[in-house]
Amino acid sequence: MQSLKSLPAAERFEEEIRQFCLTGLSGKDLTRILDIGMDPFWQNGVNVYLYERNIYSPIGQKEIDGLLLTDKGVFVFECKNVIGTVTGTLNSSWSADNQMIHVPGPRNSNPVTQIKSRIGPLSSFLRDKGISLFLTGVIVFPDEANLDGLAKSGTLSVSEPPNRDRSYIITNLHKLPEILGTIQPSSPLSHEDAFKIADLLGIVIASDPNDPERILRFPAGGFPDISPIANLEILDKKRETVFLIHPEYRENPQSLEIIDNAYKTLRESFEKTEPPVVQPKKSIRWTVIGVAFFLLGGLLMLAAFHLSGKEVQTAKLVSEGWPVPGKSQLEPYQLLLLFYHQHPTMTPDYQILSLGLPMELRTKANRSLVDQKSLDKKLDNEIKKIGSVKTFPLTIPASIIQYDSKEKLFTLSGLQGVQMQSASQTPVPSFLMPFGGKISIGIAQKLACSYCDSQVLIRNWPLQAAAGPMGHLFFRFSPVSGLNLQEVLKQTPCQGCSIPVHIQVRLSIVQVQIGRTNLGKPVISSLANLSEISIRLDSDNTLLFEKQYSEKSVSNGKEPSDTPKPDCPGCSGSTPAQSL
């Protein structure tokens, strides 16, 4: 169990959820040990097998904040660490005290659309492995958040169990056990099935159902934020609670032995003191050997630098925790570097730039003025190096909602289409509409950022735009030749459901603009030409569409010959399509 006090604020809530699910105690509970009552999960008849933080779905690489396995089923968590009054509807964005809750996806995306995009790939993966389960999403907020605004919208149910029409739960943290207790699955999830799921996802779980941590819902080693005496008080209460819920265990010698052994093992785990480590004296012989290996390693590094200086530099950046431009997904930090590279006369805002770096680097820089100047110098070098990066990768989530068997076209939803200038013969004065000159439909994609509002506008978009209801735009494309359409259409999890896909693109950044909102929050907007694009299924990474532009056409800002015409082809009408 991790110390909550040692974690940064962004991670503390996620770890607190894990601690609460595994032990029934949150960080606040540990500050008032005398008031700790019965374990809420035990009290509501919920048997918890596992909770794991920050896992990735093997299909589509969708990051999942948390996964809870209980006898009530499998629950996929989306953690929203916001407080205040939360408002929103099923089909609009959400906000907390009038501050938008940012989620990846189109403009009207919200935590419900986000959790659905996480459930789909994981469900497909488990189904392919022979495990058919009803997965439930859990959108969890701190207890301080007021969710009445969501309930009053009339389109969302708050603090209620899932049903056939709603595969998600919206709740505050401490209300979760009571909600789970009301779920009556047709077939409870067994420990063996939970072990199989964990094994498929690469998660370590005790195969023994009598594991001491599970028996008493208490962490081996105790809670790190409280003293051994306080840990002992909680462990004693846990043992008493087991017998209060199951008094028959006292009369069963086998059950009594299991509980007593678990209690003894856990008590010893946090009462045991580690002996001091005594370093053995090193002989001169081993010292000489160590120096020789050190010199040999230095020579090898020097030779590697001469052979491939760029690779050595990249490896060094990775080891220091620095992002490597052009290697990872496009992010606001890289766009900030590009802005200052494009405007060499401007003095960089090192404070904003450093926010894109790992916490340990920023903490080190704050220790002294010398460390701060050293960090600023490294950022200057990053600004110079970013100019050599030609293209940046980006993955965009979307969904297939239709297949037109007559036109042989798939229809995508989940993309934010925008009207924009398509040619870059002259410098672009602004990213705001309307533009003069040649007009086309492009894509606006938000980038995840904890300290800013960031987006990239992508032009030369090759997919056909098609008008949908309420002014929404859909995009259509012809699949690659030789594709087994029946196998693709089988991926839909239910009648009327969509098929999750991910769009992988490589972008050449044309221009970056930065600014601030009225509240002082940084805003980063960028314009990009499309260099490569491919569309793949989340379930098995099957290629559906692929296109590459020549380097010359990208640099000149020219559209390929088969790019849709500027008047939005397909918007005026469309042929009947097969709904998924």
126 CB contacts (<8 Å, ≥6 apart)? 132, 133, 135, 197, 200
Residue 118, pLDDT score: 85
Residue 179, pLDDT score: 95
State which H helix or E strand residue 146 sits in. Answer: strand 145-146
Residue 438, pLDDT score: 55
136 CB contacts (<8 Å, ≥6 apart)? 73, 74, 75, 76, 162, 167, 168, 169
Residue 68, pLDDT score: 93
| pLDDT tens per residue across span 217-271 | 898 888 888 888 888 889 988 888 888 888 888 888 888 888 898 899 888 887 6
Each residue of 160-171: b (16+ CB within 10 Å) or e?
ebbeeebbbbbb
**Mean per-residue pLDDT, 420-442:** 50
With both helix axes pointing from N to C terminus, report the angle between 111-128 and 191-200 in degrees, rounded to the nearest 10: 100
Residue 369, pLDDT score: 78
With both helix axes pointing from N to C terminus, report the angle between 309-319 and 284-307 in degrees, rounded to the nearest 10: 120
Task: Tell me the HSE value of 115 on the side-chain side, using a 13 A CA sphere.
Answer: 23
**Mean per-residue pLDDT, 167-174:** 93
State which H helix or E strand residue 236 sits in. Answer: helix 228-245
The C-alpha atoms of residue 72 and residue 190 are separated, in whole angstroms, by: 9
Which of 315-319, 421-425, 464-468 has the least mean pLDDT?
315-319
- Is the pLDDT at 342 greater than 50? The verdict is yes
pTM, to two decimals: 0.50
Residue 351, pLDDT score: 75
Q: Are 359 and 6 in contact (CB under 8 A)?
A: no
Residue 80, pLDDT score: 92
- Phi first, then psi, for residue 576 (nearest 5°) are -55, 135
- Is the pLDDT at 141 greater than 90? The verdict is yes
Residue 573, pLDDT score: 40
Give the percent of the chain with pLDDT over 90.
Answer: 16
- Which of 308, 295, 383, 377 shows the shortest CA–CA distance to 338? 383
The C-alpha atoms of residue 451 and residue 349 are separated, in whole angstroms, by: 14
With both helix axes pointing from N to C terminus, report the angle between 253-271 and 228-245 in degrees, rounded to the nearest 10: 170
- Is the pLDDT at 497 greater than 70? The verdict is yes
Task: Tell me the HSE value of 99 on the side-chain side, using a 13 A CA sphere.
Answer: 14
Residue 26, pLDDT score: 86
Q: Are 193 and 201 in contact (CB under 8 A)?
A: no
Query: 313: pLDDT confidence band, cut at 50, 70 and 90?
Result: very low
The C-alpha atoms of residue 246 and residue 242 are separated, in whole angstroms, by: 6
Residue 292, pLDDT score: 57
Radius of gyration of the chain from its Cα atoms, rounded to whole angstroms: 28
| pLDDT tens per residue across span 20-34 | 999 999 888 887 777
- Greater confidence (42 vs 358) lies with 42
- Is the pLDDT at 321 greater than 60? The verdict is no
- Is the pLDDT at 390 greater than 50? The verdict is yes
In sequence order, the β-bridge partners of residue 399 are: 413, 500
- Is the pLDDT at 165 greater than 70? The verdict is yes
Residue 306, pLDDT score: 43
**Mean per-residue pLDDT, 3-27:** 84
SS (H, E, C) 459-526: ECCCCEEEECHHHCEEEEECCCCCCCHHHHHCCCCCCCCCEEEEEEEEEEEEEEEEEECCCCCEEEEE
Mean pLDDT in the chain? 78
SS3 171: strand
Query: 317: pLDDT confidence band, cut at 50, 70 and 90?
Result: very low
Each residue of 312-327: b (16+ CB within 10 Å) or e?
eebeebeeeebbebbe
Residue 41, pLDDT score: 93
Residue 421, pLDDT score: 61
The alpha carbon of residue 42 and the mean position of all alpha carbons in its chain are separated, in whole angstroms, by: 30
- Which of 39, 72, 49 shows the shortest CA–CA distance to 245? 39
SS3 165: coil
- Is the pLDDT at 82 greater than 50? The verdict is yes
Secondary structure tally for the chain: helices H, strands E = 17, 20
Cα first-last separation, the chain: 44
| pLDDT tens per residue across span 98-110 | 888 888 777 778 8
Residue 308, pLDDT score: 42
| pLDDT tens per residue across span 516-564 | 776 667 889 899 999 999 999 888 888 999 998 765 555 555 544 444 4
Query: 294: pLDDT confidence band, cut at 50, 70 and 90?
Result: low
- Is the pLDDT at 297 greater than 70? The verdict is no
Query: 565: pLDDT confidence band, cut at 50, 70 and 90?
Result: very low
Query: 303: pLDDT confidence band, cut at 50, 70 and 90?
Result: very low
- Is the pLDDT at 424 greater than 80? The verdict is no
Task: List the beta strands (DSSP E) in 80-132.
Answer: 84-87, 95-96, 99-100
| pLDDT tens per residue across span 345-381 | 888 888 778 777 777 776 777 777 787 888 888 888 8
- Is the pLDDT at 10 greater than 80? The verdict is no
The alpha carbon of residue 478 and the mean position of all alpha carbons in its chain are separated, in whole angstroms, by: 30
| pLDDT tens per residue across span 177-216 | 999 999 998 888 988 888 888 888 877 666 666 788 888 8
Query: 278: pLDDT confidence band, cut at 50, 70 and 90?
Result: very low
